[in-house]
Structure formats: structure tokens, C-alpha cells
Amino acid sequence: MASFLYKAVSSDGEIIEGVLEAVSREHAVNQIHLNGQVPIRVEESQQKSRQTSSRKLFKRKKIPQGQVVAFTRELATLLHSGQPLDSALGILVSISGDDSLFSQHLMSIRDSLKSGHSFADSLAKEEGVFSNFYIQMVRAGEAGGALESVLSRLSVHLEQAQEVRSSLISALIYPAILLFVAVTSILVLLTYVIPQFSELFMDMGEALPLSTQITMGMATFLQDYGWALALGVILVILFFKWQMSHKQSAKRWHGRLLKLGVIGPIVKQVEAARFCRTLGTLLENGVPLLKSVAIVKDTIGNFVIADGMDQVIKHLRSGQRLADPLAEYAQFPQFALQMIRVGEESGQLEPMLMQTAEILDMETQTLIKRALSLVEPVMILVLGLIIAGVVMSILVAILGVNSLVSL
């Protein structure tokens, strides 16, 4: 017997954490299900055996989200065509190739099915591959006898989420390249071009113009202490990563992020869209509201908004509607809150949530494009001014040298 730390959702949506004894993780998961709870995380508290540790190391390798999306879409298609689940998984294993990492996960899922576990429990065993939202959707589909339909909806949900994420990344590529070129150009000027003139200006001493002295001083500093500057940047990055690895400090940073004039509204839009799409998908597949909100909480990236969901769950448990506690604790845009309120009052919450998510996604892309349309010319202008300032400082000094020679 081993001890397992677990986190689960009860039938009324309450988050429960505890420890239980079981012969294996699968046995622990089954015990949690028998108690009428939905497991979110189950981990062995004692030191793992060498085999388990190596397996955990293997599982830490990241599976691209695109592979999960393709797997969901293809599995839904095969099930709709009449293929049994075991046979459909076998086909997908042969398609992906026996040597691929994802194929080995699929074979492990297939073996778990053959040993009598449900599809959702088999997915849960592949830690780090399928999200809790994904597993709970599959569990709801199995319970309702509509696994094919659930997988189809799930594939659409994942594709939409991936499309939004890809569009955001694409929009940031050009500013990132522009920033890289700007920093590289300035470093090349200060560390290579400017030092070429140092001997020429050495005899002028304090007669050099102030702008040239500043430029030469910056170049000398980078040559002598560039390593310290690089080390400082690395230490700042490591400190920030350390801060983000602890929930309390990360929560403070997330709170500051929400207060920023341009970035804050974008973060709220993104989180609200994710909340609406995920919650709407769960509700459409028969998952109760309390349990759905508890599951959605784990999909929210901002800790401030995620912690607000705990208060939302408490108010839902006391009989309140969803929109009122969201307005108080979730920091969502007013449009999203009004749409949710209208959906509750009209009895059309699920379709209203999905429609709200689509609108928020479009508005988010518009906000990002508008912000970038302002940032890009500012970056170009600043880069041009810096380079022009460096060049002019050198030209002024050269003109000064020529005037001294002519005298």
C-alpha cells in the first residue's frame, strides 16, 4: 500500500484535498470515483521506485498541442464511422508510428482499456498529456453514451483555442523581430563601430562634445563590463522565473498585469473568452454548473482571476446565479458579464457562452492589432533616434578634429 495525495471536486462543486491509501494510482482514482468525487490530481507521496521515476521522466516530455487536437479529431471521425474504440486507437497508433512518443502514450491508453479501465481513466494515467478539462469532457461523454459527439465538440473547442493562440503568436512575431534587430544594431554600434574611432578622438580629451563623450563612455562600459550586464540580465530573468514558480508571488505579478493600461484589458478578454468557451462546452455535454466552474478554474492562467473563482463557487453553492459573483470577483469585461446574465435569464446559457467566446476572441485580436499598430512605429522611431544620435555624436567629433587640424 502507498499513500496518495489527491485533489478532487465533490458533487456540489467543492474542492477537496486529502491523502488516501491504495495499492496503485489507478486504485486511488477508483476510490475517489466511488466516493462520488471527480479527481483533478492524484500523486504518490512516497518516493517512487526506479521504474516509476523513469516513467515520470518520460512523461515530462512535452506533447505538442497540435498532436492532441489531431488525435481528437481523427478519433471522433473513426468512432462516427462505426469503429470500436479499441480498434480506432489501434489505427491511430499505426498512423502515428510505433516509435513516436505520442504513439507510445496511445498504446498505454489502449492497454489500460483492455485491462478494464474507462477511457477517461486511461487518459488520466497519461500525466501531462491531456488536461483535466479534456478528461472530464470524455468522462461526461462516456457517462451519457455520446462519446463520438463529445469528441467532435472537443476537437472544435481545441481547434478554436489553438487558432486564437496561433493568431496571437503571429501578431507578436514582427514586433519581436523588430526589437531584436534594434537591440542588435545598437550593440554592434557601441561594441564594434564606436571603438574604431577611440584612437582618433583620444588626443582631444575633454574637448570632445558631450554627446560624443557619453557615446564613447557607453561603448567603453560595454567593452569592459558587458559580461556583468549580461549576467545581470540573466539574474533578473532567473529571479522572475523563481517568482513565477511560487503562487503567492506569481499572483502579485498577475495582479499588476491586470492593472496595466493596455495589457490588462487584453488579459481579461483572453481569460473571459477561455472561461466562456470551456464552461459552455462542459455545460453542453451535461456537466453540472458547479462542477464545470470548478474544472474551468484550473484552465484559467491568471491566478487573481482563478482565485476569484473560489468565491464564485461559494456563491453558486448558496443558490446565487453565475453572473452576479462573476461581476464581483472575476474582473471580466462588462460585455461578457452582461451576455452571461442574459443567457441565464433566457435559459440559453450554453449557446450564449459559446457566442460570447467567439465575440471576445475577435475583440481580443482587434485590441492586439490596435496596440501593435501603435507600438511598431514607436519602436521604429526610437531605434531611428538612437542610431541617429550615435552617428551624429561621431560626426560632430570628426568635424571638431578637422577644425583642430585646420588650425
Q: For residue 273, list its beta bridge partners.
A: none
Which among 35, 38, 101 has a CA at the least distance from the CA of 67?
101
Cα(214)–Cα(210) distance, integer angstroms: 6
- Tell me what pLDDT residue 55 has: 43
CB of 29 closer than 8 Å to CB of 39: yes
- Tell me what pLDDT residue 1 has: 52
CB of 89 closer than 8 Å to CB of 105: no
pLDDT along the chain (407 residues), means of 10: 73 73 71 75 57 43 77 86 84 72 82 82 81 77 75 80 77 82 83 76 64 81 84 91 84 87 84 86 82 82 86 87 87 90 89 89 81 80 84 78 53
Q: Which amino acid is residue 85, in one-letter code?
A: L
- Tell me what pLDDT residue 206 has: 53
Q: Name the phi and psi angles at 41, rounded to 5.
A: -145, 130
Cα-Cα end-to-end distance for the chain:
95
- Tell me what pLDDT residue 352 has: 92
